[in-house]
Amino acid sequence: MNLQNTRILVTGGTGFIGSRLAQKLLDSGANVTILTRKIQNSPFKVIIGDLTNPNLQFDQKFDVVCHLASVTPLEKNKKILHSVNYDGVRNLFSAVSGAKLFVYISGLAVFDSACDLITEESLKKSDTEFVKIKIKAQEFLEENCKKSGMNLVVAHLGDIVYGNGGFFKSIVFDRIKNGTFRIPGDGKYIKNFIHVDDVTDALIAIMQKGENDTYILTDSVPVSFREFVNFLADNIGVKRPGTVPASLAKLVLGSDAINLLMRSTSASNQKIRQIYDFKFTSYKEGLNNLIPILKNENEH
Ligand SMILES: NC(=O)c1ccc[n+]([C@@H]2O[C@H](COP(=O)([O-])OP(=O)(O)OC[C@H]3O[C@@H](n4cnc5c(N)ncnc54)[C@H](OP(=O)(O)O)[C@@H]3O)[C@@H](O)[C@H]2O)c1
């Protein structure tokens, strides 16, 4: 699909990933609208709306919908989780009838962590409320996109998207830098990382292809959380963080978030690499590029 002048709705377009995606789409000539709950200055067309509104309606049509808005496993209130991450998907789907393509953002957490190497074909497993809701929302879209003739792409993002923003910057980078970050448990669990620029560029490649499909978006080097954090600390030039017992971390961040973080999984990016050439194929390349930018920003 040629994205030039294509009408694209980005939900979560004020967020860490969505704002960068919307800007790249605008730069490439697309007609970009974002959905947000709060009025703001924006280079994009803006619709003020809340996904949890069962009467959500738009007075314009879209060719492509990229659905990034969601609440994270850090949300402890299950009612909010359900109303944004499931009801929100249903409400959005009803409001965008007639679109050609729906891109749904999910995560690796929906796959069974017992797999040695997760691929797009791996089995799913609901082992937390957060995951149960994500799987239910995906099933709703699979059934209803098919019925209505809308193409559906499900993009499962790596566990941690890193870049200049989001929870990576506020919870991981800034806290490692100021010495308040602690690794939950022993940190030996394997995680999958991806630079935010690779997420947004890969999503654009997926939209250009425009076909029904599922992709895992992660770099080529799954690594233990501890190694990632230590590499970051060493290259910022600060002390490596210590650990905190998982039970204590759960009290602070909630059990879903910590259970998901402490699952060890490796995922394959073989499929996305057939249509997208990664800028940063490993976390080391990505962080080496990013750290000077973040350090420089903190100094000004
Ligand atoms: N960041 C990561 O490491 C990571 C990893 C794996 C998967 N993901 C997935 O990637 C997607 C984007 O993540 P992110 O880190 O960019 O998110 P983020 O920065 O936390 O942004 C969340 C976005 O969701 C919107 N939103 C939340 N509740 C809403 C509601 N009720 N109605 C309308 N909009 C609502 C917010 O918009 P307003 O506040 O402006 O209304 C905001 O733009 C999410 O689906 C996330 O689960 C992220």
Tell me how far CA of residue 130 lies from CA of 71, 106, 143, 172, in angstroms: 9, 11, 20, 21
Best CA proximity match to 294, nearest among 175, 182, 202, 190: 175
Residue bearing the CA closest to ligand 1, atom 17: 15
Separation of 270 CA from ligand 1 center, angstroms?
26
The pLDDT score that the predictor gives to residue 15 is: 96
Read off the tokens for 277. Answer: 């050439």
**Minimum-distance ligand 1 atom for the alpha carbon of 18:** 16
Is 2 domain-assigned? Answer: no
The strand pair at 190-191 and 223-224 is best described as antiparallel
The pLDDT score that the predictor gives to residue 145 is: 98
Best CA proximity match to 287, nearest among 164, 190, 149, 147: 164
The pLDDT score that the predictor gives to residue 299 is: 67
Is 230 domain-assigned? Answer: no
Is 265 domain-assigned? Answer: yes
Q: Residues 89, 56: contact at Cβ < 8 Å?
A: no
The pLDDT score that the predictor gives to residue 298 is: 65
Helices assigned H by DSSP within 72-195: 78-82, 88-95, 129-148, 166-167, 174-178
Q: Residues 99, 150: contact at Cβ < 8 Å?
A: yes
Is 262 domain-assigned? Answer: yes
129-148 burial: b if 16+ Cβ within 10 Å, else e: bbbbbbbebbeebeebbeee
- CATH number for the domain spanning 63: value is 3.40.50.720
Tokens 């730069």 correspond to 27
Is 128 domain-assigned? Answer: yes
Is 240 domain-assigned? Answer: yes
The pLDDT score that the predictor gives to residue 259 is: 92
Is 108 domain-assigned? Answer: yes
Q: Along the 300 residues of the chain, how does pLDDT read in single tens digits? A: 899 999 999 999 999 999 999 999 999 999 999 999 997 788 999 999 999 999 999 999 999 999 999 999 888 899 999 999 999 999 999 999 999 999 999 999 999 989 889 999 999 998 889 999 999 999 999 999 999 999 999 999 999 999 999 999 999 999 999 999 999 999 999 999 999 999 999 999 999 999 999 999 999 999 999 999 999 999 999 999 999 999 999 998 888 899 999 999 999 999 999 999 999 999 999 999 999 999 877 666
Q: Which residues pair with 243 in a beta bridge?
A: 183
Number of domains in the chain: 1
The pLDDT score that the predictor gives to residue 300 is: 60
Tell me which residue range forms the domain holding 69.
Answer: 7-225+235-299
Separation of 254 CA from ligand 1 center, angstroms?
18
Separation of 49 CA from ligand 1 center, angstroms?
14
The pLDDT score that the predictor gives to residue 277 is: 98
Separation of 239 CA from ligand 1 center, angstroms?
31
Best CA proximity match to 65, nearest among 15, 18, 117: 18
Contacts of 97 (CB under 8 A, 6+ apart): 148
Residues lining ligand 1, judged by CB closer than 6 Å?
11-12, 14-18, 35-38, 50-52, 68-72, 84, 88, 105, 107, 157, 160-161, 166-167
Separation of 170 CA from ligand 1 center, angstroms?
15
Helices assigned H by DSSP within 152-282: 166-167, 174-178, 196-209, 225-236, 246-253, 255-261
Is 11 domain-assigned? Answer: yes
